[in-house]
Structure 1
């Protein structure tokens, strides 16, 4: 099978690409840098320029599935201009692919889009699964709604649509976990606020396998890409310290301090959401790392 991936050089994109290539699938990927195009066995790069609405039409040749992972990182300070980039890098890129599919003959049957758990409101008592209809009114919540709307437009082309709402990805190659690990390694780690806020996460290997599972089973609809065991910020901080054999002796950092440092982005550290992967489990997906302890042991 031929699969076209955007964001193929990101954490999830690299993990998924490796899984597909191991099983002899052919991967086409889109890159904004012509000099970074890589062509090797079953792996072919194609150029696109989202801002100027340019895309190499050859990227569609023989492709049956598109996995749309492209999007600017949320782990940067959210200035007014960067908030625009966060949205447009996700929605305008999807629009460009949509217009290409409308204008070119193709064999695409399935459009799979990354999405985020930020769509669910901050709530200390609710349990969210894929049937939950409530939407968070924050900037990130609104971004995810628009992100998913950009995926839904592909329904008009009679494609299967999947939206993968992904929690914090645990990896030792980058991402949020690495930022938590660094201060703990340096003996200055601590929790945030009360530390009671639940954080929904998933091991990089599990999220890569889940995307591959969706491709193989042609799964449609919303999928929560989170482990079955959310963990509080305090428990996660302790688990990292235990795995790294580091002490924790500093008090938790107050919310107002992180707001001064990070601005609006500080909400990522303090949101309290209990999100479960009901559909993935109902469909028979098996998590390799269902607990944070198992994930951290594998990574560190």
Structure 2
């Protein structure tokens, strides 16, 4: 198949492209910067740049994947928050424009989102049928992002919003930063430790997207999380066990809020999200427990 990916140079995108090309698909990476060299089964197409007309360069695309958006990591100033939101909305608008220009429309449009759309809770469990929240910046951003995708769904294209949890991998994402204190014998409880962490191994994140491409009956929101979320205290203790390091130093919530500001929400609060659609559709998780995932990624 011919597959277009916006955001293909990011952490999740790189792993997904590797899996797709290994399966014999040709991937067209929509990028603001032209590639220096072409690779087997990979072509780069300039987009969201002066003079760029990707609709003239792309062949018939069967699958369109949009993972593009400014990083959420870093201190959230008002400008940063505006960039986070607008970069996501603009990527959907440009995707819709290009798709409308194509004579043959994709069979499926897959877009990024986040389990943060549910808001935070210490006791609730969220599935794809749970109501969304507008209680904080992340939930409002994810809701606006998914709402923007409705214009593509209105074209009669099967549309899926991948609600990612914390994606764990060796070469990107949050894991290296979360595990670093343990490397220096300074790991321990963060905040209350009772906040939920809905995590997923990068291989399963890519696997769920591939499964969604193949399952023509799947549409709407999909939680991209492992079936066994953990509380942050359990995550920390498991990192300590896997790395043979102590879990002893407490980082109080107010200290993180002082350093990170509003972005501390990502660490101090969370939600227990279950991948109900993937489970009901028979997806087989390679890494079902946090210990299995960390043994693969940290050892």
User: Offset at 1:97?
Assistant: 1.4
Distance 1:260 1:32 in 2: 35
Query: Partners in 1 of 2:283 and 2:147 — Cα distance?
Result: 26
For the 8 Å contact 1:5–1:27, the answer to whether it is kept is yes
Contact 1:61 1:106 in 2 (8 A): no
* 1:24 is aligned to 2:24: yes
- Structure 1 unmatched runs, 5+: none
SS of 1:46's partner is strand
Structure 1 residue 174, shift from structure 2 partner: 1.5
Q: Give the match for residue 213 of structure 1.
A: 211
The count of corresponding residues between Structure 1 and Structure 2 is 297
- Within-5 A mapping of 1:59-98: 59-98=57-96
For the residues of structure 2 that align with 1:297 and 1:59, how far apart are their CA atoms? 43
TM-score normalised over the length of structure 2: 0.95
TM (norm. structure 1) is 0.95
Select which of 254, 257, 260 maps to 1:259: 257
Counterparts of 1:180-191 in structure 2, within 5 Å, are 180-191=178-189
Counterpart CA distance in 1 for 2:282 and 2:58 is 31
Q: Give deviations 1:12-48, integer Å, cap 9, x for gaps.
A: 11111111111111111111112x3542221100001
| 1:230 pairs with 2:259 | no
1:49 deviates by 2.1
The residue that corresponds to 1:121 in the other structure is: 119
Aligned to 1:12: 12
Q: Deviations over 1:173-226 (max 9, x none)?
A: 111111111111011112211101111000000001111111111321111000
Secondary structure, aligned partner of 2:90: helix
In structure 2, what is the equivalent of residue 100 of structure 1? 98
How far apart, in 2, do the equivalents of 1:59 and 1:106 lie? 14
CA-CA distance at 1:257 after TM superposition = 0.8
C-alpha separation in 1, matches of 2:132 and 2:118 = 7
Which secondary structure state, in structure 2, belongs to the residue aligned with residue 157 of structure 1? coil
Deviations 1:221-257 (A, max 9, x none): 111000011111111111001111111232x211111
Partner in structure 2 of residue 147 of structure 1: 145
Query: Would the alpha carbon gap of residues 43 and 65 (structure 1) be closer, same or farther in structure 2, given more than 3 Å must change?
Result: same
What is the CA deviation profile of residues 144-166 of structure 1, one whole-angstrom value per residue up to 9, with x for unaligned ones?
01110121210121100000100
Query: Is 1:49 the counterpart of 2:60 in the alignment?
Result: no
Q: Does 1:133 align with 2:131?
A: yes
Task: Measure the CA separation in 2 of the matches of 1:105 and 1:273.
Answer: 42
Comparing 101-110 with 122-131, greater Cα deviation is found at: 101-110
Runs of 4+ in 1 over 6 A off after TM superposition: none
Please list every run of 5 or more consecutive structure 2 residues that lacks an aligned counterpart in the other structure: none
Alpha-carbon distance in 1 for matches of 2:151, 2:252: 42
Contact 2:11 2:172 in 1 (8 A): yes
Q: Do 1:87 and 1:143's aligned partners in 2 also have CA atoms closer than 8 Å?
A: yes
